[in-house]
Amino acid sequence: MILVKRNVDAEAIYKEVAALMVERRQCVALTGAGVSAESGIPTFRSKGGLWEKYDPIEFASIEAFRKDPSKYWSLRGEFIKDYDRYQPNKAHLALAELEKRGIVRCVITQNIDGLHKKAGSKNVIEIHGNLMEICCLTCGKEYKAPNIPEEMPPHCSCGGILKPNTVLFGEELPADVFMKAKEASAGCKIMLLVGTSAIVQPAASLPYLAKQNGAKIIEINIENAFPDADYFIMEKAGTALPNVVGEIDKIRRVNLI
Ligand SMILES: [Zn+2]
């Protein structure tokens, strides 16, 4: 199922989008939960997501974590220990390919599962942090999931409590990381919005920043979330992105001849 703005048929829109990406390059991808869904990653906000079953303030706010980290760890611990089970899908791999081809400059992601890096993307800005990078709140010692102490909640060898490097409710985004995301958005010529509802601030401001600075916005999503997109491909990321890579490679082959 592919719907596009301006009544262009699906094949034509993939060709047009690919041509635009080859011509402009300097493309930044902003990704959200829709990209990870195809890897079986539990979602948060969508229907059936974690926050439908668990009150995020009770389970995943910084205040609650400081009072009693065991609730947070009861919710996330199993996923963190099982992390090796989760693999990047075709959408992650396609974005890594686009970076190798010199078209995608960086991936800004709201996902905390680390799958873009696992897929081979080098320049990844994880604005909400990374669940697999775990840090002692007392001494700052770093642990890498799934290699964390068995007990729940896990403690550091110094006795301090361990916390994943993710932005919990009530926490500010790290200023330096978000500054990088803003710079990348303001400087890009194309922004690919992939699998994100782009409604959660401050990430939601990034496509506007890109557009104000002259970038074209290409949205790939199962429903249109960004009404000002120049192109909207209504499709799963794992289907649409490999199609885009295929069309780009056709153009590159023609140009090489
Ligand atoms: Zn410690």
The domain spans of the chain are 1-41+88-128+173-257, 42-85+130-166
Q: Tell the CATH topology of 42-85+130-166.
A: SIR2/SIRT2 'Small Domain' (3.30.1600)
| Cα-to-centroid distance, 34 and ligand 1 (Å) | 35
- What residues does the ion ligand 1 have nearby, CB within 5 Å? 136, 138-139, 141, 156, 158, 160
Query: What is the pLDDT at residue 242?
Result: 96
Pairing of strands 27-31, 231-234: unpaired
| Cα-to-centroid distance, 60 and ligand 1 (Å) | 21
Active-site residue set: 128
| Cα-to-centroid distance, 146 and ligand 1 (Å) | 17
Q: Which CATH number fits domain 1-41+88-128+173-257: 3.40.50.2300, 3.40.50.880, 3.40.50.1220, 3.20.20.10?
A: 3.40.50.1220
Query: What is the pLDDT at residue 50?
Result: 72
| Cα-to-centroid distance, 144 and ligand 1 (Å) | 14
Tens of pLDDT along the chain (257 residues) come to 345 554 456 788 899 999 999 999 999 999 998 999 899 887 666 666 777 777 878 878 899 998 999 989 988 888 788 888 889 999 999 999 999 999 999 999 999 999 999 999 999 999 999 999 999 999 999 999 888 888 889 999 999 999 999 999 889 888 999 999 999 999 999 999 999 887 777 888 999 999 999 999 999 998 888 888 999 999 999 999 999 999 999 998 777 65
